[in-house]
Amino acid sequence: MANKNKKFSRRSPVAAALVLLAGLVVSGGSYVAASAAVTNAAPKTEVDQAQVETGKKIFLANCASCHGKNAEGTDSAPTLIGVGSASVDFQVGTGRMPMQASGPQAEVKPVQFKQEDIDALAAYVSSLAPGPSTPTAEYLSRKGDATKGGELFRINCAMCHNAVGAGGALTGGKYAPSLRNTSAKHIYEAMVSGPQNMPVFSNTNLSPEQKTDIITYLQYVQENPSVGGDELGNLGPVVEGLLVWLGILGLIILFTIWLGAKSN
Amino acid sequence: MAKDPKDLAVVEAHDEHDYETGLAVIAADKLADPGIEPHRVRMTDKSVKHEKAAARQVALMFFVSILGSAFAIWAYYAFPFDGVNANSLRINTVFLGLGITLGLFGIGVGAVHWAKTLMPDAEVSEERHLTRGTEDVRAAAVEIIRLADQESGFSRRKLIRRTLYGALALFPIPAIVLFSDLGPSPKDSLRHTMWGKGKLRLTRDPDGTPIKASDVQIGSVFHVIPEGLVDLEAPDLLNEKAKAAVLLVRLDPSEITQKQRDWGYDGIVAYSKICTHVGCPVALYEQHTHHLLCPCHQSTFDLANDCAVVFGPASRPLPQLKIEVDAEGYLVAPGDFAEPVGPSFWERKA
């Protein structure tokens, strides 16, 4: 029974080492499997140090002049410690940052970095302190309820952004931009990070599912034309009034002149 | 004395077709009546080619109308609304409208062009009769009235006449009580909101889930309705929501006034959402400037200074709702606002 196989016996020190290794693998592997089953909105739990280093280099070259060498903020720009990867991905991904000129609001302009560089920047900034992170794909699907999303949008967002997201004015040169061409990811990130004067809609205010509903509503509105004909930018009665009083009334006046004129 | 036409002249009427100026004074240098402008001959009267061309144009307009109406009928069936797709409805409606427009417009333009170019265009003037009738007509009218009075006995019969006056005077009076039924008086419903029930939790609009103090971050804004509002039925639901809507914001405690700290909780403050100007919901919150902007007339309230009005037509700051935290950590309002919410009204003391 014992020592049947001269090469490998149950009592050899190699066997003991193998059993120990198997035990470690099983216990470690089951822990990883268990912790991976607890999903949260943050996509990555591990930190890619190389990405963080790349991000730091890009940061020092492009952002440190206003935001400080350690992102601690200066007189020109606020601190980025705690803003999270969502904030960075939104601001840099829509072209708002690097800010072109100081003013009441950063404007959308051509994006200056490739997505991998933006991800590196986001990784660096989120490594400084925890903050809202970029959403996983499940929250950006169109599987939300557009009706519920529409109700939430009207209650929380439509007063600044207009009932279908065409944008609106605020005080002192600030404005709520149009959402007609904004991607789902950027909408989510803007909600969760509250850029500039936009309030913060944290996950305790609007849950991730509610954010998905809102994004689904906006996507529905982006893709479906208005049944009432030309939307004229969805800017409401002012634009329509302008069209009627200048355009259509002008045509009516010309027609009335023809109506009363004698034939030659 | 021969009448000198250059002096002041008074013309007498001879029959009803002469113009009587009555007591008018005709000045010597008055503008001469220019008369009708000289007749211009149309191309369609001068040349047969033009006349034929005009006739073809009129026919073309009527033909366009026929095409338009036919197109409307065809397009209605060719581009049906499938019941689901918004775009299909849009196309269906646009084509139907376009066809009907052409159908109607073609008839109108064709008819006008026909009248202008082909029908006779001689100038015609119509005589304008005097307003005042001739003496015989006037005498006949007076006689009719006298006869009517005599035959009806209106002047003679005092009893009938006076009771008629009474009936006509009293007849419109029931309208007063009729119009008084137009609506119940608001009584004191403008002075109280649903928060007056006491100890109501602050809940999220629209689902009605209660809010914990720890849920509220600095810079976030919550749209709040009282606990139990979602269980109400219309019209109470909307009437109560229109007064009880509240905005919940968290600020740094060092940035706000003492009253805001006392009536809030750890920097969390709750304000009525109803603008004190005309009643629009003031919900445009600017996080960094901590201003609340009303979109209707741009009244701006400073949230770090008791919601004082910093711009715009509002005359009073937004009322603050006193809040505290209950045993489980949820935000709760112990009672109502300290003043009526919303715009001023006559009986409001301020």
Share of chain B above pLDDT 70, in %: 93
Note whether residue B175 is domain-resident.
Answer: no
The span from the CA of B178 to the CA of B129, in Å, is 48
Among B117, B141, B163, give the residue marking a domain's end: B117
Which pTM does this prediction carry?
0.74
pLDDT tens per residue, range A186-221: 999 999 999 989 999 999 999 999 999 999 999 998
Query: Domain check: are B203 and B317 in the same one?
Result: yes
Q: How far is B278 from chain A, CA to nearest CA, in Å?
A: 16
How far apart are the CA of B116 and the nearest CA of chain A, in angstroms? 6
The verdict on residue B270 lying in a domain is yes
Answer yes or no: do B199 and B318 share one domain.
Answer: yes
pLDDT tens column, B160-217: 999 999 999 999 999 988 888 787 778 888 999 999 998 999 999 999 999 999 999 9
Examine the domain organization and report whether B83 and B199 are in the same domain. Answer: no
B188 inside domain = no
Q: Is the pLDDT of residue A180 over 70?
A: yes
Question: B289, B292, B298, B299: which to substitute to probe chain A, counting the most A Cβ within 10 Å?
Answer: B289
Q: Which residue has the tokens 């919901």?
A: B281
Provide, as residue numbers in chain B, all residues whose Cβ is less than 8 Å from the Cβ of A84: none
Give chain A's mean pLDDT.
87
Q: Does B291 touch chain A (CB under 8 A)?
A: yes
Edge-first strand order for the sheet with B320-321 is: B320-321, B268-272, B246-250, B221-226, B200-204, B331-333, B324-325
- The answer, yes or no, to whether the previous bond of B340 is cis (omega within 30 of 0) is no
Q: Quick one: pLDDT at residue B87?
A: 84
Rounded to whole angstroms, how far apart are CA atoms A170 and B284? 8
B106 and B200 share a domain?
A: no
How many distinct structural domains can be found in chain B? Answer: 2
Contacts with A, B 50-79, CB within 8 Å: 54
In a domain, B58, yes or no: yes
Distances (CA, A) of B248 to A99, A198, B3, B336: 31, 15, 94, 15
Q: Indicate which CATH number applies to the domain containing B321.
A: 2.102.10.10
Q: Which domain holds residue B322?
A: 194-333
Residue after which a domain boundary falls, among B117, B139, B167: B117
pLDDT at A6: 55
Express each pLDDT in B61-93 by its tens digit: 999 999 999 999 999 999 999 888 888 888 999
Contact predicate B44/B117, CB 8 Å: yes
Which neighbouring-strand residues pair with B162?
A: none
Shared-domain flag, residues B109 and B210: no
Residue A48 pLDDT: 83
* pLDDT over 60 (residue A107): yes
Q: Are B329 and B201 part of one and the same domain?
A: yes
B201, B312: one domain: yes
Q: Does B219 touch chain A (CB under 8 A)?
A: yes
Which residues of chain A does B289 touch, with a Cβ-Cβ cutoff of 8 Å?
A: 171-172, 197
Contacts of B215 in chain A (CB under 8 A): 202, 204-205
Question: Which tokens go with A20?
Answer: 């120990």
Cα gap A221→A179, rounded to integer Å: 10
Residue A2 has pLDDT above 70, yes or no: no
Chain B nearest-CA residue for A151: B206
Domains belonging to chain A, first-starting first, are: 49-128 (1.10.760.10), 137-223 (1.10.760.10)
Q: With CA atoms as reference, report the closest residue to B273 among B340, B223, B198.
A: B223
Counting one residue from chain A and one from chain B, the pairs whose CB atoms sit within 8 A come to 87
Question: What's the confidence (pLDDT) of residue B10?
Answer: 46
Cis peptide before B235 (omega within 30 of 0): yes
Instruction: From B90, B117, B144, give the residue that closes a domain.
Output: B117
Cα atoms found within 13 Å of the Cα of residue B294, Cβ hemisphere only: 29
A227 and B86: CB-CB below 8 Å? Answer: yes
Instruction: Report whether pLDDT(B350) > 70.
Output: no
> For chain A, how many residues are written?
264
Contacts of A262 (CB under 8 A, 6+ apart): B40, B42, B116, B121
Q: Is the pLDDT of residue A125 over 50?
A: yes
B328 and B199 within one domain = yes
Please check whether residues B208 and B307 belong to one and the same domain: yes
Q: What ipTM was assigned to the predicted interfaces of this complex?
A: 0.75
Q: Tokens for A159?
A: 């007063």
- Determine the angle formed by the axes of helices B48-78 and B86-117, rounding to 10 degrees: 160
Across the interface, which of A194, A200, A264 has its CB nearest the CB of B42?
A: A264
Residue B7 lies in a domain: no
Give dist(CA A156, CA A194) in Å, integer.
13
CA A93, A113, A95 angle in degrees (round to 5)?
Answer: 40
Examine residue B88 and state whether it is found in any structural domain, yes or no. Answer: yes
Query: In sequence order, which residues have a C-beta less than 8 Å from that of residue A141 and are 6 or more positions away?
Result: A212
Interface list for chain A against chain B, based on CB atoms closer than 8 Å: 151-152, 155-156, 159-160, 168, 170-172, 174, 194, 196-202, 204-205, 224-229, 259, 262-264
Q: Provide the CB-side half-sphere exposure for B56 (13 A, CA).
A: 6
The span from the CA of A172 to the CA of A156, in Å, is 22
Q: Which two tokens stand for residue A51?
A: 């990405």
- Asked which of A28-37, A79-88, A129-138, B130-139 is least confident by mean pLDDT, the reply is A28-37
What local confidence, expressed as pLDDT, does residue A39 receive? 43
User: Residue A76's pLDDT is what?
Assistant: 85
Co-location of B227 and B100 in the same domain: no
| pLDDT score, position A233 | 81
pLDDT of B304 > 70? The answer is: yes
**Tell me, what DSSP letter sits at residue B30?**
P
Q: Are residues B306 and B215 in the same domain?
A: yes
Q: Looking at the structure, do residues B87 and B207 belong to the same domain, yes or no?
A: no
For a pLDDT cut of 70, what percent of chain A falls above it? 91
Of B54, B222, B288, the CB nearest to A197: B288
Amino acid sitting at position B183: G
Which pair of tokens denotes residue B148?
Answer: 């009517």
Residue B272 inside a domain? The answer is yes
Residue B149 in domain: no
